[in-house]
Amino acid sequence: MTHFLPGARLGLIVALGLGGTPAWAQPDDLPAPVEALVAQGLTVHERFAAPDGLTGYAASAQGQPVAIYVTANGQHAIVGNLVDAEGNNLSSEPLDEFVKGPQDAAVWQRLEDSHWILDGDHSAPRTVYVFTDPNCPYCKRFWDAARPWVEAGEVQLRHVMIGVLESDSPAKAATLLGAADPAAAFTAHNRGDEVAPSAQPADIEQQVQDNNTLMRELGLRGTPAIVYRRDSQLEVTQGMPGDDKMRAVMGSSRP
């Protein structure tokens, strides 16, 4: 129930410092053990208070959140989660606030800035991004399954048009993006009309390539690739969702 793209990694990649540039500035005056970890590739995002004389640092390694705790004398660091007597993970909240939250916000902004076709009411309270290839049958199945939520005005789908599955996929995606009424053309396509690829301006063709690049950089490899918010965190599902996952994507039971 999924089309998979060869050579791509599975999972949402949130290491946003692409090209070797850190996405966040390091706090000043880091203790020596933390400086040593930074030299090994960790990025420190923020300092936070910790119990028993420890100082916490919210960091990430290749995009994955990691907590660092420095002893009171500043000479030693412990890497990992801090747990209290009841077994509560005291690291999760600062990592969510200082690492995961900014990462998710940056990914969401990149999705907003991508080239997509609106499916539904732009004022619908829930937004879901879908990486969609015109030649993907499961993308059409997802479009059809989403009709109750879209038509009820509860969800707006933003289809990030990609061209990766077949040789004519880029041309079809560009034709849909470049249509006089992209939403109407996309709806007609999902209702069974064939997309007749036609030459598009260079900037429209580049939009498809930019979307392809974004999909690769986010580590997504299956279509449809669906990015949505659950509570305050981003979630990803790839392929045609089952019933339970569909409710999670849409944020509610079927209207």
Instruction: Examine the domain organization and report whether 123 and 207 are in the same domain.
Output: yes
Name the phi and psi angles at 146, rounded to 5. Answer: -80, -10
- 179-198 pLDDT, tens digit per residue, is 999 999 999 999 999 999 99
Instruction: Examine the domain organization and report whether 151 and 213 are in the same domain.
Output: yes
Q: How sure is the predictor about 11, in pLDDT bands with cuts at 50, 70 and 90? A: very low
- Residue range 61-85: mean pLDDT, rounded: 94
* Least-confidence region, from 24-28, 112-116, 120-124, 161-165: 24-28
Record the tokens describing residue 222, joined without a space: 């299956």
8 has a pLDDT exceeding 90: no
> Quick check: is 76 in a domain?
yes
Categorise residue 63: left if φ over 0, alpha if ψ from -120 to 50, beta otherwise: left
Which of 53, 86, 105 is the last residue before a domain boundary?
105
Instruction: Examine the domain organization and report whether 144 and 227 are in the same domain.
Output: yes
Instruction: Examine the domain organization and report whether 128 and 100 are in the same domain.
Output: no
Instruction: Examine the domain organization and report whether 38 and 72 are in the same domain.
Output: yes
Record the tokens describing residue 77, joined without a space: 């660091």
Separate counts of helices (H) and strands (E) for the chain: 9, 11
Domain span at residue 33 reads 18-105
Q: What is the C-alpha R_g of the chain? A: 22
pLDDT for the residue 63: 82
Contact 204, 182 (CB under 8 A): no
- Residue range 218-243: mean pLDDT, rounded: 93
97 has a pLDDT exceeding 70: yes
Contact 235, 229 (CB under 8 A): yes
Instruction: Examine the domain organization and report whether 118 and 208 are in the same domain.
Output: yes
Instruction: Examine the domain organization and report whether 101 and 119 are in the same domain.
Output: no
- 29-62 pLDDT, tens digit per residue, is 899 999 999 999 999 999 999 999 999 999 999 8
pLDDT for the residue 29: 85
Instruction: Examine the domain organization and report whether 40 and 119 are in the same domain.
Output: no
Question: CA triplet 122, 16, 215: central angle to 5 degrees?
Answer: 55
CATH (domain of 231)? 3.40.30.10
Rounded-to-integer distance, Cα 51 and Cα 33, Å: 19
pLDDT for the residue 62: 84
pLDDT for the residue 27: 67
> Quick check: is 227 in a domain?
yes
- Residue range 59-74: mean pLDDT, rounded: 93
Q: What is the mean pLDDT of the chain?
A: 90
CATH (domain of 50)? 3.10.450.70
Instruction: Examine the domain organization and report whether 148 and 201 are in the same domain.
Output: yes
- Residue range 73-89: mean pLDDT, rounded: 96
Instruction: Examine the domain organization and report whether 122 and 150 are in the same domain.
Output: yes
Instruction: Examine the domain organization and report whether 99 and 120 are in the same domain.
Output: no
> Quick check: is 10 in a domain?
no
